[in-house]
Structure 1
Amino acid sequence: MKHSLREKTKEKAHEAVWSVLPIMLIVLLLAFTIAPIPTGILAQFLLGGILVIGGMIFFTMGAELSMTPMGERVGGSLLRTKKLWIIVIVGFILGVIITISEPDLQVLAEQVSSVPNLVLIMSVALGVGVFLVAALLRILFGIALAPILFIFYTIIVILALFVPKNFLAVAFDSGGVTTGPMTVPFIMALGVGISAIRNDKHAENDSFGLVALCSIGPIIAVLTLGMLYSTDSSFAEDIIYEVSDSVELGKVFLQRFPRYFKEIALSLMPIFIFFEIFQLISLKLNKKLHIKICIGLVYTYLGLVFFLTGANVGFIPAGNYLGTVLVSLPYKWIIIPIGMIIGYFIVKAEPAVYVLMKQVEELTDGDISGKSMQISLSVGVAVSVGLSMLRVLCQISILYLLIPGYVIALILTRFVPKIFTAIAFDSGGVASGPMTATFLLPLAQGACIALGGDVVTDAFGVVAMVAMTPLITIQILGVIYTVRNKNENTDKTEPEVFTVADIYADIDDDMIIEL
């Protein structure tokens, strides 16, 4: 057991280091060449990077030990009640609780100054609660995902036409930040737990798509808020702490640690209490598994505290200052390729990405590889960041990019297997996590401020763009996968008809529940 834990820790450490190290090296290269950064901000960034790495190690281990098994067992327990009203009520409560717990949403809410934090957070939470119920019912009744996506994205476009422009980017960003490190492991596992009870071979296909629908709810909720709320959205600029020596550097981090210890404790507490109630009433897990999940929650807690402290204290100031410096150069357009390079690597540092890749590999028995998914996600995020920096430079409305992007994504759903559509729309929510909110968004904000633009209309929207492009790139991966499979089948003596659902036909339902 000790040897296994040591190997697991070593594996997670290797993943975390190679996820964050490229971003740190890129920033260092820029700092020592074309974009000088004050020593204090650079020191904050480096120390923040170390904390981010440590946080990723603890979080990924904790998610495997706690959040994933909790979600699977709660989902299975809900469906075994065979009472629709219980599934609806509990699903709604879960959606609201998990959303309020999401750190990414709190980061976004703090930057939108004219809407009270509680109003924005509760609007988003209600949206997620409603759409989590819709997602669970979709799995339960085996309803196709693509038509649902088409209907609700059409509603989003119509609503966007009647909302003040200052609310548009914030609304679309809220859909991306909602599905972060707290939400993704739990609700994806919830889908697995519910789909595992179904006996048909399409059940595992339907286990994906929860994140996709839960990303739609916040967009509709905030667009509706924009139509009802009396004031426009505005930007609350972060304070950049200037440090002159190592003592001040230490104080900056030590002053913020208590805040995140408290915030994450308050975030995890409702989930823990909910799970313990379920344990007493319905689950009744054995003592060993129960203790294992509790230990995993402690790992998750420590991981999120380290990660968010490092990202917020170290990465936000560096991203903001770097954006300001890059657009102040004679060749300000250079922020586009630099942003694309950063975007390519930064998605690898998103904690929830590993959760999705692991689940995809397990449920498809490795037929859809994590590596191919990661490359597709990286390419998608690189394109999205490049387009976001172009928006900042040219002050392009976000609708001119999002509407064509979603149209292409919805058209692609007609040409790829259903599982790729579900994974693609899940990937959009997963890719737009805390690294996007704490580095890419400040990068765009710093550039926008330096150019004298409107931060709310021109800089906000980075998260939305990062959430949109993977919908296209992952489905393109699905097209390639389908074509390759057809070519392989034509080479056989006895050609066979292939459906992606066939790869699940031999998976034992009990094995899925025990993942």
Structure 2
Amino acid sequence: MEFYQTKFAEKLEEALKAVLPIIGLVLLLSFTIAPVLPSILLLFLFGAVLLVIGMMLFTLGAELAMTPMGEKVGTKMANSGRIWIVFFLCFFLGFVITISEPDLQVLAEQVPSIPNIVLILAVAFGVGFFLVVAMMRMLFSRALPPLLILCYIMVFVLAFFVPKDFLAVAFDSGGVTTGPMTVPFIMSMGVGFAAVRSDKHAEDDSFGLVALCSIGPILAVLLLGLLYHPGDAVYTPKPLPKLHDSVELWQYFARGIPEYMKEIFISLLPIAIFFAAFQAVSLKLKKKTILKIIIGVAYTYIGLVLFLTGVNVGFMPAGNHLGQTIAALSYRWILIPIGMIIGYFIVKAEPAVYVLMEQVEEITSGAISGNSMGVSLSLGVAVSIGLAMTRVLTGISIFWFILPGYVIAIILSFFVPKIFTAIAFDSGGVASGPMTATFLLPFAMGACQAVGGDIVRDAFGIVAMVAMTPLIAIQIQGVVYKFRAGKGEITVPETASYLDILADDDIIEL
């Protein structure tokens, strides 16, 4: 009981540190240059309470269940000795998890020219295929940068032939399909896979799964764009809610909770079934370990339900209204610095970011600190939102931001330690989570409405921008790290032993 009390206090502190700056910033704007309707402000504040509680429970659940589950499954699969079984299971897991991803349904609605089921199946196939590629890379110890170069050459060659109105949605797809439910599980599978290797590059290769899985949806949607020749996608934003009393406020949230309970249940079910099958067939974990995982899964479920209810019901209207109000000012250029400040703080509230930071610290024994990585992520996302607001105000195609960004990221990969490249490309998918989709995207859409721009062409694409800039920011951190280590200013600690990371059951098996 004392263990759980300590963990609750720790996770609550993390959640408050992440969310309070956003609350303070929105309140400051609403009482100065961007007045907000009382009903929208109440929705935002109530949503923030749910956000804090949900984030606390989710991060605790990920630590107790999602990460251990992924590590145990990854270790067992890598030790099976039957490569074709490993490949089939990886593909099946990636395919099934992606189909149940709620954000994929939203993406499908943005492309009316392509049947929803066709787009969903194509994206799921892309994720499944690239999860197999990622596992092959780890098993056969292949470097990540050459593989990324090949994949992104394919992406940008296809992008030249896709209609402009379709580009932003295609690049957004890589971010929306790596949600907070799947990222901790997939990342920890990488740790489990790498644990069976004893070479010096094993820790570097334990990252990179999210990076490759994010490429599959982009390629799949671009290919569909060529086959279906989609025309202009029409997006009609939802009207802002108008509430008259506290009863209506509660009813507004009460209508959303059952919906997200269903969505998260559908998202979590494939992972739970997959792990249960492994447990019955080969894992055979002790009852105490299974009980701890069940409790963690329950925390994960409740946490994500509360988190998504808070951000979708409470944060989305506030983001849209703020964007409209600020962009309607005579000095609309202020949208860029305000967007950058929001971006700097909002990435800290992405639930999967804390999972990534903790795993990086654990794998590297503190050689790469979670705090320094968090600052790099925040700076990267701040730049991406500044560029996204520039697009909203000017209408410049996303292609002229994405192409140079990925070229710089890939060039940097040849000059930094391998582990920084793998972490950087993983962090892009982690940073572009539900906070981006439910606050920053509505913020950009509201601003786009106010300036009379094209929402699909100019506002969509912000997820892709958020996913891109951490690739550069984290690798710049790697350049600084390498320079300081070369001058002897810092001592590089030994990388954590996988025997220290894995559970007792896995150590016995290894």
TM-score by length of 2: 0.96
Rounded to whole Å, the distance in 2 between the matches of 1:308 and 1:105 is 15
Is 1:257 the counterpart of 2:278 in the alignment?
A: no
Partner of 1:164: 163
Question: Deviation of residue 105 (structure 1)?
Answer: 3.2
Partner of 1:449: 449
* Amino acid in structure 1 at the alignment position of 2:218: I
Partner of 1:503: 494
Rounded to whole Å, the distance in 1 between the matches of 2:175 and 2:17 is 24
Rounded to whole Å, the distance in 1 between the matches of 2:214 and 2:248 is 40
Question: Deviation of residue 123 (structure 1)?
Answer: 2.2
Q: Is the 8 A contact 1:114 1:234 kept in 2?
A: no
* Amino acid in structure 1 at the alignment position of 2:497: D
Rounded to whole Å, the distance in 1 between the matches of 2:465 and 2:230 is 25
* Amino acid in structure 2 at the alignment position of 1:503: E
Q: Is the 8 A contact 2:184 2:355 kept in 1?
A: yes
Question: Deviation of residue 174 (structure 1)?
Answer: 0.8
Rounded to whole Å, the distance in 2 between the matches of 1:74 and 1:202 is 21
Partner of 1:136: 135
Is 1:52 the counterpart of 2:51 in the alignment?
A: yes
Is 1:213 the counterpart of 2:202 in the alignment?
A: no
Q: Is the 8 A contact 1:327 1:451 kept in 2?
A: yes
Partner of 2:332: 332
Question: Deviation of residue 295 (structure 1)?
Answer: 1.1
SS of match in other structure, 2:487: helix
State which drifts further: 150-159 or 265-274.
265-274
SS of match in other structure, 1:503: coil
Over 3 Å counting, the alpha-carbon distance change for 1:318 and 1:113 in structure 2 is: farther
Question: Deviation of residue 90 (structure 1)?
Answer: 0.3
* Amino acid in structure 2 at the alignment position of 1:78: M
Rounded to whole Å, the distance in 2 between the matches of 1:191 and 1:255 is 38
Rounded to whole Å, the distance in 1 between the matches of 2:42 and 2:117 is 34
Partner of 2:376: 376
Rounded to whole Å, the distance in 2 between the matches of 1:93 and 1:190 is 14
Q: Is the 8 A contact 2:362 2:501 kept in 1?
A: no
Partner of 1:30: 29
Question: Deviation of residue 114 (structure 1)?
Answer: 4.9
Rounded to whole Å, the distance in 2 between the matches of 1:279 and 1:427 is 30
Partner of 2:84: 85
Rounded to whole Å, the distance in 1 between the matches of 2:280 and 2:266 is 22
State which drifts further: 475-484 or 103-112.
103-112
Deviation readout 1:384-416 (Å, 9 max, x if unpaired): 000000000000000000101111111101110
Partner of 1:155: 154
State which drifts further: 225-234 or 190-199.
225-234
Partner of 2:202: 203
* Amino acid in structure 1 at the alignment position of 2:499: D
* Amino acid in structure 1 at the alignment position of 2:140: F
Q: Is the 8 A contact 1:110 1:236 kept in 2?
A: no
Question: Deviation of residue 96 (structure 1)?
Answer: 1.2
Number of residues paired by the alignment? Answer: 503
Question: Deviation of residue 275 (structure 1)?
Answer: 1.1
Gaps of 5+ in 2: 505-510
Is 1:513 the counterpart of 2:494 in the alignment?
A: no
Rounded to whole Å, the distance in 1 between the matches of 2:27 and 2:13 is 21
What do you get for the CA RMSD once the two structures are aligned? 1.5
Deviation readout 1:308-364 (Å, 9 max, x if unpaired): 000000111111111111110000111100000000000000000000000000000
* Amino acid in structure 2 at the alignment position of 1:151: L
SS of match in other structure, 1:162: coil
Rounded to whole Å, the distance in 1 between the matches of 2:340 and 2:7 is 32
Is 1:193 the counterpart of 2:192 in the alignment?
A: yes
* Amino acid in structure 2 at the alignment position of 1:511: D
Q: Is the 8 A contact 1:48 1:314 kept in 2?
A: yes
Is 1:234 the counterpart of 2:234 in the alignment?
A: yes
TM-score by length of 1: 0.95
Q: Is the 8 A contact 2:113 2:228 kept in 1?
A: no
Over 3 Å counting, the alpha-carbon distance change for 1:6 and 1:383 in structure 2 is: same
Rounded to whole Å, the distance in 1 between the matches of 2:45 and 2:121 is 35
State which drifts further: 223-232 or 48-57.
223-232
Rounded to whole Å, the distance in 1 between the matches of 2:234 and 2:272 is 35
Question: Deviation of residue 231 (structure 1)?
Answer: 3.0
Deviation readout 1:115-171 (Å, 9 max, x if unpaired): 444333322211110000000000000000000001111111100011111211011
Over 3 Å counting, the alpha-carbon distance change for 1:382 and 1:414 in structure 2 is: same
* Amino acid in structure 2 at the alignment position of 1:445: M
Partner of 1:386: 386
Over 3 Å counting, the alpha-carbon distance change for 1:444 and 1:353 in structure 2 is: same
Q: Is the 8 A contact 1:113 1:235 kept in 2?
A: no
Question: Deviation of residue 43 (structure 1)?
Answer: 0.7
* Amino acid in structure 1 at the alignment position of 2:368: I
Deviation readout 1:147-203 (Å, 9 max, x if unpaired): 000111111110001111121101111101222201110010000001101121211
Q: Is the 8 A contact 2:145 2:413 kept in 1?
A: yes
Q: Is the 8 A contact 2:111 2:230 kept in 1?
A: no
Rounded to whole Å, the distance in 1 between the matches of 2:435 and 2:118 is 24
Rounded to whole Å, the distance in 2 between the matches of 1:316 and 1:116 is 27
Question: Deviation of residue 451 (structure 1)?
Answer: 1.5
Rounded to whole Å, the distance in 2 between the matches of 1:61 and 1:118 is 34
State which drifts further: 171-180 or 229-238.
229-238
Question: Deviation of residue 17 (structure 1)?
Answer: 0.9
SS of match in other structure, 2:46: helix
Rounded to whole Å, the distance in 2 between the matches of 1:149 and 1:432 is 19
Question: Matched residues, percent identical?
Answer: 62
* Amino acid in structure 1 at the alignment position of 2:339: G
* Amino acid in structure 1 at the alignment position of 2:501: I
Q: Is the 8 A contact 1:103 1:182 kept in 2?
A: no
Rounded to whole Å, the distance in 1 between the matches of 2:227 and 2:112 is 17
State which drifts further: 410-419 or 239-248.
239-248
Partner of 2:126: 127
Partner of 1:182: 181
Rounded to whole Å, the distance in 2 between the matches of 1:511 and 1:49 is 37
Q: Is the 8 A contact 2:110 2:169 kept in 1?
A: no
Rounded to whole Å, the distance in 2 between the matches of 1:427 and 1:51 is 25
Partner of 1:436: 436
